[in-house]
């Protein structure tokens, strides 16, 4: 069963992390003075613009291509609203490439936006799914079951966070906690999941991954902080340098290396 829960955990972030890690920000959050403040302004402005777009049309019905076009439009609009400050940041870039700084600001604003407005999470999940060929949709028939699982998970995460702030844990501690919470919630809702997806759902790898992605999307709508933290941990893990290959031992100074003699021919 523990292996099944690991699959669920993998599914939770697999479809979403493609968006978060597609071009992981190369410039830390506040390398340039004022960068973090500008990112806050950008994310707030993008959320405001998304809210306005949501009054005109149901954003959940947009295709992946339409979602991506909308994301670009609200990002450019928010940047235009704060263009003077953006230009000032570019002038302070120093040795950092303006292109790298601009890309980092955009990516950091998107990450923060996902935690600010629920509509952004499902929008980005749809874009990420399309990019990786894992595009999925929570159907009206399954939504009540998955929403119950999601709400139970969010409630448990809130309880754990009250005991000890989850963002203060190490990445490995967070991963263990997420596995524990998600595993427990799936187990406690196993009957409902079996009724919705079939008796073998808890041992079906492909189905578990698919359900996990859908729960991840709903978590972005319900309690985005926790799934986003898992995404940031994954970004950091992927960006960490690979363990260097062990170098061959150097010969001891002053001592000639021993040469192996060929075996005697009998």
Q: What is the pLDDT of residues 138-185, one digit of tens each?
A: 888 999 999 999 999 999 999 999 999 998 999 889 888 888 888 889
Q: Where does the chain have alpha helices with state H?
A: 2-21, 35-56, 64-81, 83-91, 98-116, 118-132, 143-163, 171-188, 190-197, 205-222, 224-239
Note whether 146 and 32 are within 8 A (CB).
Answer: no
Mean pLDDT of 122-135: 66
Buried b (16+ CB within 10 A) or exposed e, 169-178: beeeebbebb
More confident residue, 110 or 20: 110
Instruction: Report pLDDT for 171.
Output: 87
235 pLDDT band, cuts 50/70/90, is low
Q: What residues does each domain of the chain span?
A: 2-14+137-238, 16-132
* Averaged confidence pLDDT in the chain: 76
48 pLDDT band, cuts 50/70/90, is very high
Q: For residue 165, how many other CB atoms are within 10 A of its CB?
A: 9
**Which range, 61-65, 126-130, 131-135, has the best average confidence (pLDDT)?**
61-65
Q: What is the pLDDT of residues 177-208, one digit of tens each?
A: 888 888 889 889 999 999 999 999 888 888 88
Hey, what are 142's tokens?
A: 């399954």
pTM: 0.62
Mean pLDDT of 232-256: 51
Instruction: Report pLDDT for 260.
Output: 46
Q: Give the span between the Cα atoms of 12 and 227, in whole angstroms.
A: 8
Instruction: Report pLDDT for 53.
Output: 92
Mean pLDDT of 31-52: 88
**Which range, 171-180, 206-215, 223-232, 242-251, has the best average confidence (pLDDT)?**
171-180
Hey, what are 130's tokens?
A: 């399309």
Instruction: Report pLDDT for 26.
Output: 47
More confident residue, 125 or 149: 149
């Amino acid at each position: 069963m523990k292996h099944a829960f690991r699959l669920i955990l993998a599914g939770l972030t697999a479809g979403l992390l493609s968006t978060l890690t597609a071009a992981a920000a190369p410039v830390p959050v506040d390398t340039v003075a004022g960068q973090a403040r500008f990112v806050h302004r950008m994310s707030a402005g993008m959320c405001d613009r998304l809210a306005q777009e949501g009054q005109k049309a149901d954003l959940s019905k947009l295709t992946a291509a339409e979602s991506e076009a909308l994301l670009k439009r609200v990002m450019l609009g928010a940047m235009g609203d704060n263009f003077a400050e953006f230009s000032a940041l570019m002038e302070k870039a120093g040795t950092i490439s303006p292109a790298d700084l601009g890309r980092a600001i955009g990516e950091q604003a998107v990450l923060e936006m996902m935690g600010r407005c629920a509509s952004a999470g499902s929008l980005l999940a749809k874009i990420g799914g399309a990019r990786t060929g894992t595009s999925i949709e929570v159907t009206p028939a399954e939504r009540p079951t998955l929403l119950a699982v999601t709400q139970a998970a969010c409630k448990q995460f809130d309880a754990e966070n009250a005991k000890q702030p989850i963002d203060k844990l190490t990445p490995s501690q967070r991963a263990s906690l997420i596995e524990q919470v998600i595993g427990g919630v799936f187990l406690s809702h196993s009957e409902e999941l079996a009724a919705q997806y079939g008796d073998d759902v808890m041992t079906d790898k492909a189905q578990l991954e698919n359900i996990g992605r859908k729960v991840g999307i709903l978590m972005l709508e319900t309690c985005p902080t926790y799934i986003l933290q898992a995404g940031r941990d994954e970004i950091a893990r992927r960006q960490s340098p690979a363990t260097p290959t062990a170098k061959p031992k150097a010969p001891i100074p002053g001592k000639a290396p021993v040469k192996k003699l060929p075996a005697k021919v009998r």
